[in-house]
Amino acid sequence: MKIGYNTAAFERLAQIEKELFAAKDELIELSEQTCGINKITDLKKFLEQPGQYLVDLYRTLYLSNRPEHLDFKTILENETRVSISRINEVKVRYDKATLEMRNHAPTLNADTMTSNLDPKAFDIILDPVKKDHYNALKSFLYAIENLKNYTNVNSPMNFVRSIPDLTLQGLQPTIQINKFTK
């Protein structure tokens, strides 16, 4: 039974996912500046080591006739004016966002990145073992609200003090749902 929703966690991860996709797009844009449009053949390999991937790709596309002993990273930076350190900075942002998302991180394939952020994963589910206790508290709170129709209930704080599973939200007593989850 759903008893709540963790809006803050969902919104936080949605923002991080937005930053992650923005970092991916920025890396692709930098690759287009160096090697041309639609040259990335394996997005997953590219996002694992974008700097090295671009150096290798640039070398294959434009420097195949050059001797092996040359520093192809320096050649790429000089000819394209795109710095590998800039690519690595964006990669760090991408990795940080991926780590923060943990099991909600996007799925990465050779040609696509798909979101795994499911709003249903942030539903707060009632532990079946604690269901009777939760329902008793819910009935108690309903009884307090109903009692207000007949008499002056001027200090709901007293109820919160006497029942440790309640808390005040503003001046309203509410159930501490974190005590009733799986």
**Mean pLDDT of successive 10-residue stretches along the chain, which has 182 residues:** 94 97 96 90 95 94 91 94 95 97 94 95 95 95 89 79 89 90 86
pLDDT of residue 96: 97
What confidence score (pLDDT) does residue 80 get? Answer: 93
Q: Buried b vs exposed e over 2-18: b needs ≥16 C-beta within 10 Å? A: ebeebeeebeebeebbe
Q: What is the pLDDT of residue 44?
A: 95
Across-strand partners of 87? none
CB 9 within 8 Å of CB 123: no
- pLDDT at position 120 is 95
Query: What is Dmax (Cα atoms) for the chain?
Result: 93
Residue 18: predicted pLDDT = 98
- Angstrom CA distances, 122 to 14, 17, 126, stand at 12, 15, 13
Q: What is the pLDDT of residue 161?
A: 84
**63 neighbors 75 (Cβ within 8 angstroms):** yes
pLDDT number for residue 89 = 97
pLDDT of residue 162: 87
Nearest to 140 by CA among 167, 175, 176: 175
pTM: 0.82
Residue 61: closest CA among 37, 84, 45: 37
At CB < 8 A and 24+ separation, what contacts does 110-116 make? 110/41, 110/42, 110/43, 110/44, 110/45, 111/42, 111/43, 112/43, 113/21, 113/24, 113/43, 113/47, 115/17
Q: Is 82 helix (H, G, I), strand (E, B) or coil?
A: coil
